[in-house]
């Protein structure tokens, strides 16, 4: 567990860098700073609201440590007395339905039994899927992954498809991205290379989203806002029903407000909603599937 304080220091600096770049891109709103502390540790929750582009967003940093409870052992599948964890988690929801929701997190988890690992990911959840934009997004992630290992993108893209999936809806949360967990040094990638990989992902996050923020000037209708609200409802469902990070955060007695700050400002659920045949909503629904090769996706 000796590395974790150094990693936490780097993550704390990255939080500030991410917030600064997003403020520049939004051009109006600024992140607040809410330091919190509990028996298990603390962190800084930074929230942005009512910007030119960003309706609600957060970039959270935390560093916690404590006793590993029996329920936490069951979740992790590990036996140990104590744990320590640090990470950054961010979510951004935009006003304009043509600007997608994006999520990113990087984390490091260590146990006093000598076991430790990196985890994280970045994924995109458009209300209205534009295949060319989904392809560009995956191209950026592919490039980041290839700098560290040629197999990372294919492995982590598949992992994201399987993880960001709502079984009760039989649909993906969005167009996926990359997701990884229990990532440890091996004969191909050492500790410093792994650390460099997660840092590169965090640094790329505001730069990637800045490109999507350019869609904020695109006009939209009330119908498109209604669809955005319905899609946000599915986002809430995933976070509360399926997301392991949310469950672990609440189980470990983390900061509840920080854990649930990922929720959009507004969402809706309409009973038995069905998109009109041939509509852009139906086309989006048809693309909420696993295993789409977005980099090789052909458009008409």
Task: Please name every residue paired with 42 in a beta bridge, in sequence order, or none if there are none.
Answer: 37, 63
Catalytic residue selected from 30, 93, 103, 149: 103
Backbone region of residue 170 per phi and psi (left: phi > 0; alpha: psi in -120 to 50; beta: other values): left
CB of 119 closer than 8 Å to CB of 107: yes
Sign of CA dihedral 99, 54, 200, 198: negative
CB of 230 closer than 8 Å to CB of 270: yes
Active site residue 103: yes
* Residue that has been written with the tokens 């704390």 in this structure: 12
Count the neighbouring beta carbons within 10 Å of the beta carbon of residue 151. Answer: 11
Encoded tokens for 30: 């600024």
Per this entry, what is the length of the chain? Answer: 300
Q: Which of 65, 64, 60 is nearest to 32 (CA)?
A: 60
Q: Catalytic residue positions?
A: 103
């Amino acid at each position: 567990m000796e590395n974790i304080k150094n990693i936490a220091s780097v993550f704390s600096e990255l939080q500030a860098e991410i917030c600064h770049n997003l403020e520049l891109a939004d051009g109006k709103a600024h992140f607040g700073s809410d330091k919190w502390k509990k028996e298990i540790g603390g962190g800084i929750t930074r929230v942005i609201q009512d910007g030119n582009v960003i309706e609600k967003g957060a970039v959270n940093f935390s560093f916690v440590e404590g006793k590993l409870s029996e329920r936490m052992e069951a979740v992790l599948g590990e036996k140990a007395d104590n744990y320590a964890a640090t990470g950054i988690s961010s979510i951004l929801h935009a006003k304009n339905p043509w600007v997608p929701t994006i999520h990113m997190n990087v984390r490091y988890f260590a146990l006093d039994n000598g076991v430790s690992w990196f985890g994280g990911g970045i994924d995109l959840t458009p209300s209205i899927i534009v295949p060319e934009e989904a392809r560009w997004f995956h191209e950026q992630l592919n490039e980041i992954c290839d700098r560290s290992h040629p197999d990372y993108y294919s492995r982590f893209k598949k992992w994201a498809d399987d993880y960001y999936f709502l079984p009760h809806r039989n649909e993906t949360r969005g167009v996926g991205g990359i997701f990884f967990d229990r990532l440890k040094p091996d004969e191909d990638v050492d500790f410093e290379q792994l650390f460099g990989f997660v840092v590169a992902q965090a640094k790329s996050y505001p730069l990637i989203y800045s490109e999507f923020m350019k869609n904020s000037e695109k006009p939209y209708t009330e119908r498109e806002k209604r669809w955005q609200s319905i899609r946000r409802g599915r986002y809430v469902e995933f976070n509360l029903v399926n997301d392991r990070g949310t469950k672990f955060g609440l189980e470990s007695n983390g900061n509840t407000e920080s854990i649930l700050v990922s929720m959009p400002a507004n969402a809706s659920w309409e009973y038995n909603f069905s998109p009109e045949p041939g509509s852009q909503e139906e086309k989006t629904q048809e693309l909420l599937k696993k295993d789409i090769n977005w980099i090789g996706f052909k458009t008409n």
